[in-house]
Structure 1
Amino acid sequence: MTDGKACKVCNFTRQKSYGVSAPSLDDLKKKGSEYLGFSPGDPVKVVLENDGTIVEDQTYFLCLPSNTKFMLLHDKETWSPARKIDGGTAWMQRESVMLEMDTVDTGSSLAPWLDLAQQLKQDLTSIILMSEADLQLLVDAPSTELAAALGFQVKKAEDLQETLQNVLDRREEERQSKELLQLYLRTVEKEDKQLEEASQSSTGTGGDVDVPDGSEVDSASGFMSRTLMVLKGKTSPETRLSTEDLQMVVTRGVDAMKQVLGWDEARTSALLQACEAELSRRLQQIQAMQSISNTQLDGRRQSSGTSTEDSVERPATGGT
């Protein structure tokens, strides 16, 4: 039985600070609110006092070391770095914090990536805790504005965005590889069942089944809204499309895709060439897997045919 994690809590001005023992994040909010004088039932946000990282996951809370100092925020309060001020100017500091809070909140509502950039500025390693949606927000952010928010040069911010995009692309390729492997395994299982039911082998239903992904279809272009978003992406969009989407893009041709994307002919042609190359690569993978599957299937059939011939020939040999 655990008595709880030793923690420290403070308010956003850091004028009040208390030590508490809390076994869970909810318990920390409850006890911290009581000590800091918050009204019962008011929503409270928990952040790390040293860098402002938002703590809203129980598992993450349990991973933090003992005596970690948390800041509890409510209403319109926001985290800000600690500053050394004397008692005579404390009231000026509080007004400054409120002014900064209004500015950050307004900007965050217009650009969600600003909060993520603030986390990175305080601790670059916090990027490992970000979801793919968060990473995509940072990739899509204007490079100049992201550089200003992080205190980087524009080139460094662009390099960071390119690295994040590569991470997202690798994850997408891993998903596609898993889907291709699952498709191959399902094909093998289906062929095994058809072998067991020899009488039904010629009547089995084959072919690909189109499974809608639930995205809305753009009435003007005929493409899924997600497909259009990926096509207009920054880096290697062809690697992030499904095989069906690639076939559709290649079939449309340069002239049609120029109208869909609103690009010039050179850029559109380059995209279609990349899509054709990616589609060819995937088809070669599928053909290779089908070849392996057919080889295994022929081996099973030959093995079965050999054992049948032996059972027929042996009585004739014994009779002579």
Structure 2
Amino acid sequence: MSEIKPCKVCNCSRQKYYGVVVVSLNQLKVRGREALGFSADTPVSVVLDDDGTIVEDDAYFLCQPPNSKFMILQDKETWKSLKRYDGGTAWLTKSFDVGSDAVDSTHAGVEPWRGLAEQLRQDLASIILMSEDDLQTLVDVPRVALASALAFPEQKTQDLQDTLQRVLDRREEERQSKELLQLYLNVVEKERSQDLTQAETVQDEADSMDVDSAVGFSSRTLLVLKEKTSPETRLSNEELQTVLKRGVETMMGELRWDRDRTTVLLRACEEELSKRLQQVHAMQSLSVHSQKSNSTSATQPCKEKTAAKRRK
């Protein structure tokens, strides 16, 4: 008993597709006439809908996969391509002939790889415009089926699939190279940020050590002393006295300055403190003089009254 094969048939305009189940090519013609409304005595021919290959014997018919699409042609009718091509790139616009099922060949029951195979058959250069998924689809197609769709010898089809695989491998290598490069750049940027942060931390620690190295000495005092211009004017009298008590040798170690620079600073502190003390003494003298003057003014009227009484 022959194998039952589900098929789809259409006329040359592809306006409608009908599903039939047959066991032979002759039965396909009979069922096809009935489905399409042709007269029973109308001579017809059968071709593959996707590429127009003429089907003349049962052996080739039975080799086709289930749900293959066949076009039933009456006398003087010819097969026309489902898509129009222009230099191998017009297929991108998906310009189709008429037919409700021509919008998407997948909906019409055609396997996706057949449309890709037709693109290659029309123009091999269309490989460069295919996605990786399309290329992988063609690589995975059985060599015999792809050779039949392309009308290529099996060896040429094998060479083509090998070429497609190399294209896929090259694209994968390029992608991995880009990913590795981006990863390297990210690592470099991260290390650079860490180095900058570490350098800032070390500098902060060094400054902190410089300030805190003077045990019992005000951190603020050291920071003020390291100012570029007239640091002695920014210190209190107590701080100036503390600096002078420590002397040149101690302050050299705490400030990490040379002797000349430290000596100049201490001399300036001494002069500033002396000037302030003189101002304090002057203010105290003025205050004492003012108090004496007030006391004298208050006792003078009493003396005058006493003298007046004695004269009387």
Regarding TM over 0.5, the answer is no
Give the TM bin, normalised by the shorter chain. Answer: 0.3 to 0.5
Higher Cα radius of gyration:
2
TM-score, normalising length: structure 2: 0.34
